Amino acid sequence: MLTVDNRHAMVEARRSFFDGRPVPQNVIPLPILDSWRRCNALGLNNSVAPHLEPLTAAELRPRSEQHETLRRLCRPEIEALHAEADSTDCIVILTDATGLVLDTVGDVDFADRAARVALRPGVPWTEAATGTNAIGAALIEKRPIKVHGIQHFFEPHGFLSCSAAPIFDPRGEIAGALDMSGPAATDQRHALGLVRMAVDQIEHRFFDQGFARCETIRFHTDPGLVGTSQEGVLVFEDRRLVAGNRRGLALLGLDWSALKDRLFEDLFSDGRLHGDGFLKRLQAQDGDQFFARLQAPARPAVSRAGRGARMAARPVAPVFDPGTRKALARATRLIDADVPVLLHGETGTGKEIFARAMHHGSARADRPFVAVNSVALPDVLIREAAGGVLFLDEIGDMPLSLQSRLLRILQDREAKPSRGGRAVSTDFALVCTTHRDLRAMVATGSFRADLYFRIAQFTEELAPLRSLPGLAAVIRNVWLDLANQRHVTLSPETEHALLGYDWPGNFRQLVGTLRSLLALAEDGNPILPSMLPAEFGIDTRASQVVIPTPASLENEDRLRDVQLDLMRRVLAECDGNISRAAKRLGINRSTIYRHLIGTRH
């Protein structure tokens, strides 16, 4: 949000520009000013909104079909941003590389307002057509751009606040743009960070297909980021660099011009390129050290008899549900305000991934994220965190002696080496995690009260997997990520069983279970509940019970009676335990509650 003074200065600077007078420096961001100049050169009239006719449905259909791959790759991120958009009166927009709007989702009321200025499918949001706007500027500047309120060229667009980022394909070509637009009167300061994170995920997903015959390196200086959307990716064909992502090129000080111009030996001093699926150290020609996973070209398809061959497990990051995304935006604001955040949650809920996402969306994104196991507190790591984020994992396990030392560091804002020497000033945002009840530990004296109130100025509770309202979508998204183009589906009964399980190991257990099912799967055949691990307690006899279909009954009421009778019988056999009954029936617990328990009230 602009302050009154900043807005007044911007209004005056805008008036000066359009009156042909010099514009005060450092008032209008340079990308906005450059865009205004381009629009002026095109002869656009800033006081009157352009008249734009969207493509007809018949005209838009082939354009949408042409970009179906892009739309499919973007769908999970658009759905996730959709939840955030609903909470902030925004809409999410996907365009093609020319700026033509392909899809919009989000707040209905705001979408109606946006449609009045032609912000809807079938309209090109280029600078030539709609003046200065985030989509058009991002496509020209080839970088994320925010255009707020009166920064738009056309005055009727002043009610908008738009944040957009271009989407690059693995060969450096712009595939489209993702935008989040809302009312300028609402606080949209984190919209651009959310869009950037979504685009990172989309660009990372591009590498899931199309490179089976190539050698792929996934690497980073931080081993914890290999396998996430923050990793660098480079693709080699006959040892020549043919594709990559922006992060991978940046880690080596390169840009898109390096594609097809560099050999593997030009970039790395380690001449071996063996894809065994495990992390190894890789040294660049300039001496920089990386952790890397080398992925060799896929072998020819094997017969069904050879299906037992080992498959390398690819790391899967948690799919944040709408509630977690809101929590992420809130926590990111806090560390930007230098407020320590404590992440509390059960084992396996993705606390470190959440913390890394906070770092990525914060003002410290270009500085280090240093993860430290709380049973140790090395001086060198504390120094390396300067300017960035210090992440203390499982701080409830920290010995009392180290608790005292950490407290001094936080109080003095400097670290004194344990072996003597000059104190080093510290400037980092602090994020801690724990699965323990720190308040109870304070009460028993096993955790210092003064340290607790230092690190827990705000506590974010990460919900266990079983309580997520969007669990079905999370399971489906993780399954699609793991299946990776294989023609394998989860039967409805299996999905129900997965939804009805308690998931004591949370996201980590979910990924392991789905990987097991994928290894057992036969292409073309659905996965049945009987293939689930023993801890699901699936009674194969119950899972084989056939509920009569409408064709075999006199009417739908009879079918419902039979279904309810079966539910009651199995629930009674399970002594009223809804979870066990749901597992035996292969359905969701909420189904039993809705049809049986809920009818009692």
Token digits of residue 70: 């892009």
Tell me what pLDDT residue 577 has.
72
User: CA–CA separation, 151 vs 133, rounded Å?
Assistant: 8
Would the pLDDT of 289 be above 50?
yes
Ranked by mean pLDDT, the top range of 290-294, 444-448, 503-507 is 444-448
Report which of 209, 180, 189 is spatially closest to residue 92, judged by C-alpha positions.
Answer: 180
Of 126-140, 276-290, 348-362, give the lowest mean pLDDT range: 276-290
Model confidence band, residue 532 (pLDDT cutoffs 50, 70, 90):
confident
Over residues 83-120, the pLDDT tens digits come to 666 667 788 999 999 999 999 887 667 767 776 767 78
Give percent of the chain with pLDDT exceeding 90.
28
Residues 6+ apart with CB under 8 A from 543: 493, 528, 529, 530, 584, 585, 586
Instruction: List alpha helices for 302-399, DSSP H.
Output: 322-336, 351-361, 379-384
Token digits of residue 373: 């196991």
Token digits of residue 337: 């305000």
Would the pLDDT of 594 be above 70?
no
Would the pLDDT of 28 be above 80?
yes
3-state secondary structure string across 485-530 = CCCCCECHHHHHHHHHCCCCCHHHHHHHHHHHHHHHCCCCCCECHH
Average pLDDT of span 502-526: 84
User: CA–CA separation, 48 vs 38, rounded Å?
Assistant: 17
Residue 575 Ramachandran class (φ > 0 left, ψ -120 to 50 alpha, else beta): left
Would the pLDDT of 315 be above 70?
no
Tell me what pLDDT residue 4 has.
56
Over residues 372-400, the pLDDT tens digits come to 877 767 666 677 788 889 999 889 988 88
State the average pLDDT for the chain.
Answer: 80
How crowded is residue 452: how many other Cβ atoms within 10 Å of its Cβ?
17
Tell me what pLDDT residue 175 has.
95
Tell me what pLDDT residue 556 has.
42
Residue at token pair 């594609």: 259
**R_g of the chain, CA atoms, integer Å:** 27
Over residues 356-372, the pLDDT tens digits come to 888 888 888 878 888 88
Over residues 47-85, the pLDDT tens digits come to 887 788 888 888 888 888 889 889 888 888 887 787 666
Would the pLDDT of 316 be above 70?
no
Over residues 30-44, the pLDDT tens digits come to 999 999 999 999 999
Residues 6+ apart with CB under 8 A from 333: 190
Backbone angles phi, psi at 209, to 5 degrees: -150, 160
- Tell me the DSSP string of 31-93: HHHHHHHHHHHTT--TTS-----PPPHHHHHHHHHHTHHHHHHHHHHHHHHHHHHHHTT-EEE
Would the pLDDT of 304 be above 50?
no
Tell me what pLDDT residue 164 has.
96
Average pLDDT of span 488-502: 85
User: CA–CA separation, 219 vs 443, rounded Å?
Assistant: 44
What is the set of domains in the chain, with CATH numbers? 57-189 (3.30.450.40), 210-299 (no CATH), 322-463 (3.40.50.300), 471-600 (no CATH)
Average pLDDT of span 414-433: 72
DSSP 3-state of 100: strand
Average pLDDT of span 235-240: 89
Tell me what pLDDT residue 174 has.
95
Over residues 130-160, the pLDDT tens digits come to 999 999 999 999 999 999 999 999 998 888 8
Over residues 214-231, the pLDDT tens digits come to 889 999 998 878 878 889
Q: Which of 491 and 187 is assigned the larger pLDDT? A: 491
Cα 473 to chain centroid distance, Å, stands at: 14
